[in-house]
Chain A
Amino acid sequence: MIELEGLTKRYGEKVAVNNLTFTVRPGIVTGFLGPNGAGKSTTMRMLLGLDRPTAGDVRIDGKHYDQLKDPLTYIGALLDAKAMHGGRSAFNHLLCLAQSNGIPRKRVYQVLDTVGLTAVAKKKAKGFSLGMGQRLGIAGALLGDPRILMFDEPVNGLDPEGIHWIRNLMKSLAAQGRTVFVSSHLMSEMALTADHLVVIGQGRLLADTSMADFITQNSRSYVRIRTPQRERLLDVLHGAGVTVVETGNGSLEVDGSKSEHIGELAAQHQIVLHELSPQQASLEDAFMQLTAESVEYHAHSDTPAAPPPQPWGDGWKGN
């Protein structure tokens, strides 16, 4: 159980995390979703006592992080796959973490086996691929067999096989009754793994809801229609009491999943249809809409993608 209460972090004028209050419960995967720069990593660092909150409080099983005896046995975290000394072997990296928390050496072999790094245990971490580094970071999180696990963007940069492995790992950890708290900036990724969703934008809490509720609330299903006899169809649908939305590109949209009904109406009135397709608004769209106002770094479509090419030699003039 992780409890945040009015958690706030300010860097000078800039508010990175703004009055966050929510609880992460055991037995489920809780997704921590937000656009880049929303304050996810800052929140997680405060949770581990690495950054000090400007205001508010965060507790792990009712205690502050630095009050935990052997904290790795309470909570294991993967913050950054690169947060290790590249010159140290995978085994020694895990061994020094284990020793600091009184975890027996044989557990190091166990977690290396769990993440599939036994064969490269004696190799230096700097030779590892991103995926292997991620696995080593996860081995570190699992080391103390903790009841709470926290992963910051664990699938970033992984190949499909690695992504699949992490998803299954998180689900199985939650199924064992552990608390699993995982951040991502991808709604589609969360939809596949998370049971509960905490959404933040610009440091503020935007949603704290179950995944199922989020889907039913945000996934609009509708029917898209294209027809050369647009006016006639509109009349017919109005006559039948169906609300139609006219979109800019010439197609019509009807909320709900009534494609059979609309097809039958069109057939009765002998209207030609070019398209009649049930559609589902993606969760990604719903997430984008939710966070639209709070995205810090907008990409502007009118910005040129690359500077215009310059003739050779201009760079020398120090323009």
Chain B
Amino acid sequence: MAAIQVVRSEWTKIRSVASTVWTLSLAVVVTIALGMLISALSKNEFDKMSRSDQLSFDPTFISFAGMSLGQLAMIVFGVLVVSNEYSTGMIRTSLAAVPQRATFLVSKIAVATGLSLVVGLATSFVAFFLGQAMLGSHKASIGDTGVLRAVIGGGLYMTLIAMFSMGVAAMLRSPMLSLGILMPFFFLVSNILGNVSATKKIGRYLPDQAGSKIMQVVTPVDDSTPYGPWGGLGIMTLWVVAALAGGYVLLKKRDA
């Protein structure tokens, strides 16, 4: 079994279902539009901000504000790519065609990750430039220290969120169960844990909290995070590796 055949097959699968188009388009539109909106609002609010808020003002990070919502569409994409196989019964046809389960899973995830990366990077660059356009005189430039890293990091962040969802979906198999856990977790639980002072120390090791550090250029004044941008992305990558490894072990072990 040449792996390249399976990759080609997975590409046909991913491009031939409607859910790929609508989840990814939604991620692009929501991330960019919300980023522009919040950038425009921030520009108007800047003069009313406190001194320390003005010092912590991070135009790059603000243009990525849409990701908090846009990432939910990436989660749906990641979940559906994997769990569609189970909810439709296609998995039995797929594994009969490719009985090497490692090849099957790696090819599927490689194709979906490649697509996420292209979409994620494009979204990140567009969100940055349009966001900066909204910020007017407070804008950052792509040549400023750390900005290019943050913009590329934004694309990587979206990709890793999708990959994490693929891993969770491979473990849980059911799309409803996977979404029912991931959506509230990233939209609510993680934010609550990260903002309540008692749980902040744990919250910042969650995948999204750690990973989003890569998109920060200006470190907030009172920040005590024990890792830097790449360290944060590293923590997120560990979560992704764990989720995918769990998905693989269960796929290998279970009856299809």
Contact = CB atoms under 8 A, between A and B. Distances in A.
Do A and B come together as binding partners? yes
Interface of A: 45, 48-52, 65-66, 68-72, 77, 79-80, 82-89, 92, 95-102, 140
Given A50-B256, A71-B99, A85-B84, A101 B5 contact: yes
Nearest to B13: A96
B100 interface: yes
B199 interface: no
B88 A80 contact: no
Given A51-B256, A72-B97, A80-B89, 18 more contacts: A48-B95, A49-B95, A50-B256, A51-B255, A68-B99, A71-B96, A82-B89, A88-B17, A89-B16, A92-B16, A95-B16, A96-B10, A98-B9, A99-B5, A100-B5, A100-B6, A102-B2, A140-B93
Q: Quick one: which of A82, A85, A89, A140 has the most chain B CB within 10 A? A: A85
A270 B98 CA distance: 76
Given A89-B16, A96-B12, A97-B9, A83 B97 contact: no
B16 A97 contact: no
Question: DSSP class of B's interface residues: helix, strand, loop or mixed?
Answer: helix
A88 B255 contact: no
A50 B98 contact: no
A70 B90 contact: no
A68 B19 CA distance: 33
Interface string B216-256: 00000000000000000000000000000000000000011
A11 to B, nearest CB: 9
Given A51-B256, A71-B99, A80 B92 contact: yes
A87 B17 contact: yes
A71 B96 CA distance: 7
Interface in B1-33: 1-2, 5-6, 8-10, 12-13, 16-19
Interface in B50-109: 84-85, 88-100
A95 B100 contact: no
Given A66-B100, A100-B6, A88 B95 contact: no
Contacts of A72: 96-97
Contacts of A50: 92, 95-96, 255-256
B235 to A, nearest CB: 35
Contacts of B88: 82-86
10 contacts: A49-B96, A71-B99, A82-B88, A85-B85, A92-B12, A96-B10, A97-B9, A100-B9, A102-B5, A140-B93
Nearest to B100: A66
Contacts of B13: 85, 88, 92, 96
A85 B97 contact: no
Given A96-B9, A99-B5, A99-B12, A79 B92 contact: yes
A86 B17 CA distance: 9
B11 to A, nearest CB: 8
B6 A45 contact: no
